[in-house]
Amino acid sequence: MSVAEIVIDYTKCDRAGPNFVQIPNDLYSLNFPGSSEGNPPEYMSIQGVGTANKVTWPTMKCTIKFDVPVTMKKPVFMYYRLTHFYQNHRRYIKSMDPKQLSGVYRSAQDLKDSGCDPLSVVEENGVTYPIYPCGLIANSMFNDTFDLTLKPFGTTTTTTNQPYNLTDIGIAWKDTATKYGPQPYANLSMVKPPPNWWKSYPNGYSNSTPPIDITKNEHFQVWMRISGLPNFRKMYAKNEKEHLHVGTYTIDVDMNYNVTSFGGTKSLVISTVSFMGGRNPFLGIAYIVVGVLCVVLGLLFTARHLYKPRRLGDHTYLSWNQNAAPNESSSNSIASMDEAPPSATATGASVHY
């Protein structure tokens, strides 16, 4: 089974304007085994409105248009991909509080002594408030919003002419939910959201705008699972029941996440999988490089053995035998003197036994 994959870098979509423009060749990758790639993808952007927790804010809405030249067999997965984001940095990895995430009450003083520093507490008007959830990982959570519906576009419609719906339920690993518990703060006015969550909580937490439920928010759970490399992808949605049929589709993205501050990029990825997993050319290249290296070393050792063979189990090359070789003659002389019985003592007297 071959893997079909669409990767589209939409970092600069906010500069595209209100009409569709072709995406540069170096900003997308299309892989459809046994078929042509179809038309190049395009995108456009307009001023939009982001919404969360009954709060709205201005944002750029990016619409991405792409072709599916062959049916993508179920299951179909949608990911976001980030580059140059070092989630594996030692300080970043430690910047969280497992007890707080599991639902244990943690005061501001408790968090000061935790690994969440430098985002453990916030001071306002001389009062110190705990941050929930605290730490660099939670603060940097990816917050671009993808529409969970791929819409057929224009006259080049799909074979079914129906929208393709995805779900964000079940995108986190099954064991992940056990790490999280309900938020433990009864008085929400005495706890603050992470600084980068200000768009969703401009006035902080309240009973009408409570914190996200981390026991159910799988996007949060996916983000909190650290990636080992600076270029990574994380699952956003999936459809395990239906094929993605041939056609031209569009998807809307609310652009909230700033990647230019750290010189990174963000991409939309739509992919199928095989029995070996998703498409990963790095793994194949690594196997080939290691295989070639083993062959080269094997040939070198074979040539060395043919040129200067060594008998199996030969002890002459052992280190202590090498060190003993120069003293072999003197050792033999001493041994011969010990073996011959002396004929007289130093005084000339005969030796009696």
What DSSP line would sit under 40-107, residue for residue?
PPEEEEEEEEEEETTEEEEEEEEEEEEEE-S-BPSPEEEEEEESS--TT-HHHHH---HHHHTT----
Q: Kindly tell me if the per-residue pLDDT of 253 is higher than 90.
A: yes
Average per-residue pLDDT for the chain:
87
pLDDT at 88 (0 to 100) = 92
Element (H, E) at 339: helix 328-339
> Residue 310: is it exposed, middle or buried by C-beta count within 10 angstroms (0-12/13-18/19+)?
exposed
Model-level pTM greater than 0.85?
A: no
Average pLDDT over residues 227-240: 95
Give the other-Cβ count within 10 Å of 68's Cβ: 25
CA distances from 186 to 128, 203, 205 (A): 17, 18, 11
Tens-digit pLDDT profile for residues 162-174: 899 999 999 999 8
Residue 304: the pLDDT is 86
Residue of 45, 261, 255 lying closest to 142 (CA atoms): 255
- Helix (H/G/I), strand (E/B), else coil: 137: helix
Phi, psi of 347 (to 5 degrees): -90, -5
pLDDT of 156 reads 53
Amino acid, res. 5 = E
Q: What local confidence, expressed as pLDDT, does residue 276 receive? A: 55
Give the integer Cα–Cα distance in Å for 221 and 180: 9
CA-angle at 215, arms to 214 and 217, nearest 5°: 55
Q: Look at residue 331 and give its three-state secondary structure.
A: helix
Residue 157 burial by Cβ neighbours in a 10 Å radius (0-12, 13-18, 19+): middle
CA distances from 175 to 59, 218, 222 (A): 35, 12, 11
| Length in residues, the chain | 353
Q: How confident is the model at residue 344 (pLDDT cuts 50, 70, 90)?
A: very low
Assign 279 a pLDDT band (cuts: 50, 70, 90): low
Among 50-54, 300-304, 326-330, 333-337, which range has the highest average pLDDT?
A: 300-304
Q: Decide: 63 and 210 in contact? Cβ < 8 Å.
A: no
Give residues with Cβ within 8 angstroms of 259, minimum separation 6.
11, 82, 85, 265, 266
The owner of tokens 């129906």 is 162
Is the pLDDT at 309 greater than 90? The verdict is: no
* Contact status, residue 129 vs residue 121, Cβ threshold 8 Å: yes
Angle at 322 between CA 316 and CA 327, to 5 degrees: 120
What are the extents of the domains in the chain?
Answer: 5-84+143-169+216-279, 96-134+181-214, 280-312
Share of the chain above pLDDT 90, in %: 67
Residues 330-338 have a mean pLDDT of 49
Across residues 211-218, what is the average pLDDT? 95
Q: Name the phi and psi angles at 151, rounded to 5.
A: -100, 135
